[in-house]
Amino acid sequence: MTNSSGGETRAALTVGALGVVYGDIGTSPLYTVKAVFSPEIGIPLDAQHLIGAVSVIFWGLMMVVTLKYVLLILRADNRGEGGIMALTALAAKAAGTTRRRHMVLLLVGVFGASLFYGDSVITPAISVLSAVEGLEVATPAFKPYVLPISIAVLIGLFSVQRFGTGIVGKLFGPVIAVWFVVLAVTGIIEIARQPAILAALNPLNAVAFLSSQGWHMFVALGAIVLAFTGAEALYADLGHFGKRPIQIAWAGLVLPSLALNYMGQGALLMRDPTALGNPFFRMFPTAWLIPAVVLATVATVIASQAVLTGAYSMTKQVMQLGLLPRMHVLYTSAKEVGQIYMPFVNWLLLAAVLLAVLGFGSSSALASAYGIAVTVTMLTTTLLTFFVLRYAWHYPLPLTIASTSVFVALDLLLVIACSLKFIDGGWFPLVLGLGLFTIMASWRRGRELLLESIGHDDPELLPFVQALATDHVNRARRTAVYAVANPSTVPQALMHNLKHNQVLHERNLILTVVFQDVPWVPASERVAVEPLGPGFWKVQVNYGFKDTPDIPKALASCKSDALPINLFETTYFLSRETVVPTRRAGMAHWREGLFALMSRNAGNIADFLRLPNNCVIELGTRVQI
């Protein structure tokens, strides 16, 4: 999809990128300026401070989004894929010269990914609330209905996820294109009425504004950062649209529209300070308020949809990298493998979003919770980019430091600024992220302990196979596939089959499914076959973390004289372990209990590997960790 083969294709991808990539950052004007000049922040509402604040927003968009993401980080693709997990895999592979360094980089990336879910909760809540609050501008009589309408919109949004986004997705780009045109036009009208706001284009006014604030600068930046949220989406959706369409959309429409609208709001407030209650909707004539609210609501739903799609995709990637238990994945499109729906993730996110809406009550209150998770993820992305530049692209160390140090400094500045909002709500996404990070770390460590415990008493595979060659055991004229995590020891299911059924199959495949640190694995590298002895083969099936496992399809490619397989005469033997937590060394007992709970509720491995239901035999065993 990223390989555009003509102007029309690139144009279609560019329009599509508007809806999916820029929905989040494109709806930031709904609440950013109001948050910056709210009484809680305490910035005087006069011409000098309005020009200075808008100047900081404009040059922040230039530095953080344009220079960092659009020009630098979009180049750091992992076989065409972007996003923090793709970047983590690329950095860990290039710089992970030791197991310790590899693990540290992986944990850094996983922590950043965990915080992404905080964004997935706050974005729908603040975006939809801020759009529906426009009704209060039309008439204060609507105020009691803002929360119920917002909740209804959010429940509707999450409820339709199971139907997929294929049809709706085609409308995303054009609708958001109209949204950006409206942002630009309303901004131009206000700028024409108060041209003095154009002084915000001078970066010296941004510097003067920040320096005049002293230590209060961090408080101001904590609100201004709302204008940059959504920047991670540029990189996360690299694989869907490609670098050039994302860059063209940003430079050609998104950046000019955002800049004009922010300056337009500044110009309006210079003329009429009473418009601070909701400067975005006060830019519209009264007759256009209701259509503007409807358009804003649709735009925020689209922005929320993009974040939800990213949450499903991120969960699948993390799951296939072995950091979360298996979960049910539904593929909502017969053509696009990237269009997926995960019921458990969907309803968990809805519950968290509704808690945020009811707990905070307004977009202004939610603004305090917004920023910390996003800025820490941005900092994580910059740190990982350093390792990619140095070890994957082999830039000289001075050039690598020069390329990333400015952005590290900017990110740190924003993280510090947002951390001041911790008590006022910033704790909310951090608690969500840290909780998820704990779950991921516990699952990964638990799997390591589980495999160690299983492998401790199991005999070595190769001597076992050689001994069977001289044993006259009954052999069924079928193929048995034993799915294992450790291919060097005898599968538990094979041991049970011999012990209880006293039978061995004519062809026995010791199957290992490996997810590599790349998004996609070519078909030519999908399967590796190694003969072990009479009737035994070791088969490794390789997938990328964005691939969809399909074991029968992979085994079908193994058909040869050396390994003849009739899939209609194949039985798949799976081992299901019941984890028993103990107080021995390994993990804290409560983490072992958490791992045991996740293990019991993990999705069915047969469904995950797309095995035919009538050809699967599961054998259980109890394992202490």
Side chain identity at residue 443, one-letter code: W
Q: Are 337 and 54 in contact (CB under 8 A)?
A: no
Q: What is the DSSP letter of 273?
A: G
Which pLDDT belongs to residue 303? 80
Segment 175-191 mean pLDDT: 95
Checking if the pLDDT of 139 tops 70, the result is yes
For 6-26, what is the mean pLDDT? 76
Backbone angles phi, psi at 420, to 5 degrees: -65, -20
Secondary structure (3-state) at 575: strand
Which residue blocks in 21-83 are alpha helix, DSSP H?
23-26, 32-36, 47-60
Among 111, 88, 72, residue whose Cα is nearest residue 406: 72
Neighbours of 343 (CB within 10 A): 13
Distance CA(77)–CA(117), nearest Å, equals 22
pLDDT in tens, 233-279: 778 777 767 788 889 999 999 999 999 999 999 999 999 999 998 89
CA neighbor of 552 nearest in space, from 620, 602, 615, 507: 615
Both tokens of 148, joined, read: 């119920």
pTM of the model: 0.79
- pLDDT at residue 220 tops 80: yes
Could you give the domains of the chain? 17-426 (1.20.1740.10), 458-624 (no CATH)
Looking at the predicted structure, is the pLDDT value of residue 143 above 70? yes
SS3 content of the chain, % helix, strand, coil (to 5): 70, 10, 20
Task: Return d(Cα 360, Cα 375) in angstroms, integer.
Answer: 21
**pLDDT tens digits along 71-99:** 988 888 777 777 888 888 888 888 877 77
Q: CA 538 from chain center: how many Å?
A: 35
**Residue tagged 């256009």 (tokens):** 288
pLDDT at 410: 93
How many Å apart are CA 566 and CA 596, to the nearest integer? Answer: 37
Residue 337 scores a pLDDT above 60: no
pLDDT of residue 283: 94
How far is residue 173 from each of residues 103, 128, 153, 479, 593, measured CA to CA in Å? 39, 19, 20, 50, 46
Among 572, 494, 499, residue whose Cα is nearest residue 532: 494
Give pLDDT, residue 169: 53
pLDDT score at 185: 96
pLDDT class of 202 with cuts at 50, 70, 90: very high
Helices (H) and strands (E) in the chain, counts: 27, 8
Lowest model confidence (mean pLDDT) among 62-66, 483-487, 511-515, 581-585? 581-585
How would you class 420 by CB atoms within 10 Å of its CB: exposed for 0-12, middle for 13-18, buried for 19 or more?
A: middle
Lowest mean pLDDT among 5-19, 342-356, 501-515: 5-19
Do residues 328 and 151 lie in contact, with contact meaning Cβ atoms separated by under 8 Å? no
Angle at 160 between CA 157 and CA 166, to 5 degrees: 105
Please report how many Cα atoms fall inside a 13 Å half-sphere around the Cα of residue 523, on the Cβ side: 7
Sign of CA dihedral 222, 228, 233, 235: negative
pLDDT digits (tens, 9 = 90+) for 410-468: 999 999 998 888 888 888 888 888 888 999 989 988 888 887 877 676 788 888 888 88
The CA distance from 147 to 456, in Å, is 57
Tell me the chain's radius of gyration from C-alpha atoms. 27
User: Side by side, which strands form the sheet with 536-543?
Assistant: 527-533, 536-543, 504-515, 475-483, 570-580, 616-624
SS (H, E, C) 511-562: EEEEECCCCCCCHHHCEEEEEEECCEEEEEEEECCCCCCCHHHHHHCCCCCC
Quote the tokens at residue 93: 């592979």
Q: What is the pLDDT, as a whole number, of residue 2?
A: 43
Distance CA 262, CA 205 (A): 15
Residue 3 — very low, low, confident or very high, per pLDDT cuts 50/70/90?
very low
Residue type for position 7: G
List the structure tokens of 367.
């603004």
Angle at 125 between CA 17 and CA 407, to 5 degrees: 55
Rounded distance between C-alpha atoms, residue 184 and residue 448, angstroms:
54
Tokens describing residue 242: 């490609």
CB neighbours (10 Å) of residue 559? Answer: 12
Is the CB of residue 6 less than 8 Å from the CB of residue 191? Answer: no
* Share of residues in the chain with pLDDT > 90 (%): 29
Residue 5's pLDDT is 41
433-447, 527-541, 568-582: segment of lowest average pLDDT: 568-582
DSSP state of 284: S
Rounded to the nearest integer, the mean pLDDT of the chain is 85
Q: Identify the weakest region by mean pLDDT among 120-124, 500-504, 513-517.
A: 500-504
Structure letter (DSSP) for residue 570: E
Rounded Cα–Cα distance for residues 234 and 378 (Å) = 12
SS3 state of residue 108? helix
